[in-house]
């Protein structure tokens, strides 16, 4: 059987941390990793057990908010399989809809976190990998999306003028500095909302993201 170290390519990462232990994932016990986690530190690789889609979303955005995962790093989330016999299971087909992930490129809205792999740990847990994409990778993916028919994403370009009216002049400038692919992703994320409260929440996510990028440049 292929070792977990090799399956997850853990040799690529220097600072690896396990956030929470679980008796039903003994495969982790032999790994050389840090078992004392702090939100104030940065890691190359974070391993984390989650037990619901709500917790999964909360933890990912918390990692993003605290900048806990370094650029180029990866978070491996372990979630309960369906019919595992121990915990309520999570259906893999419910992941992207619940997290509102962009179907085309796999990004978690308002972050640089990209879903990139899924592997089985054992009979209880499935592992899903989320990478903190680098700026270079983001540009490459956006260029790829620019050269392909964007389908549903392109349908929302018509709302750009409405969005710009909702942004401050500084936010408008930051939004226009995004690549066309990322602009379309945000438009789709915002205007696909079915209710006004959800739309307002997503607008706030965009504004926070633009503000964060502005701070990073200073």
Does the pLDDT value for residue 26 go beyond 60? yes
Confidence of residue 202 (pLDDT cuts 50, 70, 90): confident
At 158 the pLDDT is 76
Helix, strand, or coil here: 21?
Answer: coil
Please write the tens of the pLDDT for every residue from 5-18: 888 989 999 999 99
The per-residue pLDDT for 104 is: 64
Q: What is the pLDDT of residue 143?
A: 62
- Helix (H, G, I), strand (E, B), or coil: what is residue 143? helix
Does 149 or 26 have the greater pLDDT score? 26
**pLDDT, greater one: 64 or 156:** 64
**pLDDT, tens digit, 9 for 90 and up, residues 115-139:** 888 889 999 999 999 999 877 776 6
pLDDT in tens, 93-105: 788 888 888 766 7
pLDDT of residue 39: 93
Q: Could you identify the residue written with the tokens 């690529």?
A: 12
Lowest mean pLDDT among 151-160, 164-173, 181-190: 151-160
* First-to-last C-alpha distance (Å) of the chain: 48
Question: If pLDDT is split at 50, 70 and 90, which confidence band does 41 have?
Answer: very high
This prediction has a pTM of 0.65
Q: Which domains does the chain have, with CATH numbers?
A: 4-133 (3.40.50), 142-216 (no CATH)
Q: What pLDDT is recorded for position 85?
A: 94
CB-count exposure of residue 100 (10 Å: 0-12, 13-18, 19+): middle
Helix (H, G, I), strand (E, B) or coil at 48: strand
CA dihedral 214, 68, 38, 41 (to 10 degrees): -70
For residue 218, name the pLDDT band (cuts at 50, 70, 90). very low
Q: What does the pLDDT look like over 55-110, one tens digit per residue? A: 999 999 999 999 999 999 999 999 999 999 999 999 887 888 888 887 667 888 88
């Amino acid at each position: 059987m292929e070792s977990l170290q090799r399956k997850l390519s853990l040799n690529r990462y220097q600072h690896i941390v396990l956030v929470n232990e679980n008796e039903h994932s003994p495969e982790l016990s032999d790994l050389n990793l840090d078992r004392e986690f702090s939100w104030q530190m940065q890691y190359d690789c974070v391993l984390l057990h989650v037990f619901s889609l709500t917790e999964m979303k909360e933890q990912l955005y918390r990692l993003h908010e605290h900048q806990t995962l370094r650029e180029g790093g990866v978070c491996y989330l372990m979630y309960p399989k369906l019919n595992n016999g121990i915990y309520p299971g999570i259906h893999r087909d419910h992941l992207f809809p619940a997290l509102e992930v962009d179907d085309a490129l796999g990004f978690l809205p308002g972050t640089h976190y990209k879903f990139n792999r899924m592997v089985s740990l054992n009979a209880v847990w499935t592992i899903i990998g989320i990478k903190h994409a680098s700026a270079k990778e983001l540009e490459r993916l956006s260029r790829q999306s620019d050269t392909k028919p964007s389908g549903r994403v392109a349908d929302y370009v018509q709302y750009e003028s409405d969005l710009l009216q909702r942004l401050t002049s500084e936010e408008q400038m930051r939004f226009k500095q995004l690549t066309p692919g990322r602009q379309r992703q945000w438009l789709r994320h915002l205007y696909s909302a079915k209710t006004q409260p959800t739309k307002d929440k997503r607008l706030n996510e965009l504004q926070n993201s633009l503000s964060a990028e502005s701070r990073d440049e200073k």
